[in-house]
Amino acid sequence: MQPPQQAVYEDNRREEVARHIPAGATSVLEVGCGKGGFGLALRDALGPQARIVGVEAMPEQAVMAAEGHGFDAVSTGYFPDALPEGEGPFDLVVFNDVLEHVLEPEDMLRDLHAHLAPRARVLAAIPSIQYAPVVWRLVRGRWDYADIGTLDRTHVRFFTAATMCEMFERAGYEVESCTGENSVGRFLPKLAKPFVRLLGNSQYVHFVIVARRRA
């Protein structure tokens, strides 16, 4: 049983995640595909021969994803229960801003092993609670939930780059890369950008993980 979700997110291709799509995948599952924007990025990266399947909890978003977003099939519900019979195994599984919405994300990653092809990869974008503006507001005594963003009101788990990688490792994966994306520097004047590096991992809204099942 998973907590209820909301249908307020943009139809977004997630280009910052798309550049991490492993080449050569031919059977793809996106868990929590939303309105389907990343399906277009997957189709562009992997070509017409790839079979791309989506699972989405919110019915109205699943309907949108199924129409003109590059998916071969989209089902409504929660993974793994909503995965259509006969689909898989997959050589790429995507979680775009999903694992933080799950009560037991580590268990979900373990359950995923049964649906992975031998050399499969998992691609996950996860927001970082270490993001400097969030930390600064916390220091000032504020922790205000919102409809979207790092403090999305439907988030039930919070991660830093270190703890999200550790979660994958405990769940039986080897993390091949963990890359910060959406730096706070994109909002700052050019002269301030050299100082952004001093923030380290705190400059990034998201980290994008590419992992493979450990032998």
Instruction: Indicate whether 169 belongs to any domain.
Output: yes
Amino acid 191: pLDDT = 65
Q: Return the CATH number at 101.
A: 3.40.50.150
Over residues 19-36, mean pLDDT: 97
Estimate the share of the chain in helix, then strand, then coil, as percent rounded to the nearest 5: 35, 25, 40
- The per-residue pLDDT for range 152-206, each reduced to its tens digit, is 999 999 999 999 999 999 999 999 999 999 999 887 777 677 788 889 999 999 9
Instruction: Indicate whether 201 belongs to any domain.
Output: no
Instruction: Indicate whether 105 belongs to any domain.
Output: yes
Q: What is the DSSP letter of 128?
A: B
Task: Give the three-state DSSP class for 120.
Answer: strand
C-alpha closest to that of 86 among 71, 94, 102, 75:
75
C-alpha closest to that of 31 among 79, 71, 74:
79
Instruction: Indicate whether 194 belongs to any domain.
Output: no
In the chain, the number of structural domains is 1
**174: exposed, middle or buried (C-beta count within 10 Å: 0-12, 13-18, 19+)?**
exposed
What domain range is 69 assigned to?
A: 15-127+160-183+207-213
**Counting every residue, how long is the chain?**
215
Number of Cβ atoms within 10 Å of the Cβ of 89: 14
Instruction: Indicate whether 179 belongs to any domain.
Output: yes
Highest mean pLDDT among 79-93, 125-139, 176-190, 192-206: 125-139
Instruction: Indicate whether 145 belongs to any domain.
Output: no
- What's the whole-model pTM score? 0.94
Whether the per-residue pLDDT at 140 is higher than 90: the answer is yes
Instruction: Indicate whether 85 belongs to any domain.
Output: yes
Instruction: Indicate whether 139 belongs to any domain.
Output: no
Task: Give the three-state DSSP class for 176.
Answer: strand
Number of Cβ atoms within 10 Å of the Cβ of 103: 11
169 φ, ψ (degrees, to nearest 5): -65, -40
Q: How far apart are CA 167 and CA 156, in angstroms?
A: 15
Contacts 24+ apart (CB under 8 A), 137-145: none
Task: Give the three-state DSSP class for 184.
Answer: helix
